[in-house]
Structure 1
């Protein structure tokens, strides 16, 4: 399973647009790290944001849908 996601991908997972994800980051609710100069949200960041079980469900569904396309 992938361990980091772009802000756009996180937005798709959470039914938000990228600006809403950025607002969650700015408000201190969601954390991120830099990978090759780009903001990336890790599984750990998502787990802190919404809990491990919810993160697992959402990321698995996202990755399944991504592979189906």
Structure 2
């Protein structure tokens, strides 16, 4: 499973606009890392944001990896 996602991908996963993802970052609710000069959100960041079980379900659904 991938471990790093763009802000746009996270927006798609969470049914949010990219600007809403940015606001979550700016407010300190969602953390990120820099990778190749761009903000990327890791699985760990998502787990801190919404919990491990919810993160696993959402990322598996998004990546099409089926039922867990």
Q: TM-score, normalised by structure 1?
A: 0.92
Query: SS of the counterpart of 2:64?
Result: helix
- Larger proportion of helix: 1
User: Does structure 1 residue 58 correspond to structure 2 residue 58?
Assistant: yes
Q: How many residues align?
A: 65
- Give the corresponding residue for 2:2: 2
Q: Could you list the runs of 5+ residues in structure 1 that have no partner in the other structure? A: none
TM-score, normalised with respect to structure 2: 0.94
Q: CA deviation at 1:45?
A: 0.1
4+ residue runs of structure 1 moved beyond 2 angstroms?
Answer: none
1:5 aligns to what SS in structure 2?
strand
Partners of 2:17 and 2:6 lie apart in 1 by: 12
Q: RMSD in angstroms over aligned alpha carbons? A: 1.0
